[in-house]
Amino acid sequence: MKGLFNFTEVFTYFFRKKDPNRKTNFNLRTMHTINKISILMFLAGMIYFIIKHI
């Protein structure tokens, strides 16, 4: 039950430092941008759901 609400990996995804040794291209940047938007939308939906049911 302790690890059920562990959001540290979600929050650290937004604040990672760029790896200078890794090449970046448009597809990779687009994928990460879409992932960040989907995580934010999911969290907003969960907050809305919780507030609605309280």
Q: What are the tens digits of pLDDT across the range 19-45?
A: 788 887 899 889 989 998 998 899 899
In order, the DSSP letters of 28-39 are HHHHHHHHHHHH
- Percent of the chain beyond pLDDT 70? 94
Q: What is the pTM of this model?
A: 0.67
